[in-house]
Amino acid sequence: MIDNPSNREKAARGVMEAAGGKLHSFYLTTGETDWMAITEFDDGADLIPALLVVSASGAVSNVKTVRAYTGAEFKAAQEKAGTIASSYKPPAK
């Protein structure tokens, strides 16, 4: 990085778009992680091939993902939970 500085945003954008997604933002970070990408995919599972490619390159390791939901998406999940709640029986206490 010192001998050959580069901006990795273009590479990140390329692999996300190749996987069918959109890169909204790419950040270099301090603390627990070294970088963060905010992406959008029609199906969250479509992100996985891009992460496999990047991880397999050896350039990054210990990749973590976080899925974000809109308020409407989470409300729909809550409503569905209400319709299936009776199908789950917790273990005896």
DSSP characters over the chain: --SS---THHHHHHHHHHTT-EEEEEEE--SS-SEEEEEE-SSGGGHHHHHHHHHHTTS--S--------HHHHHHHHHHHHHHGGG--PPP-
pLDDT at 59: 85
pLDDT at 85: 95
Average of per-residue pLDDT values in the chain: 93
Give the residue-averaged pLDDT of 57-79. 92
pTM over cut 0.85: no
Report whether pLDDT(1) > 90: no
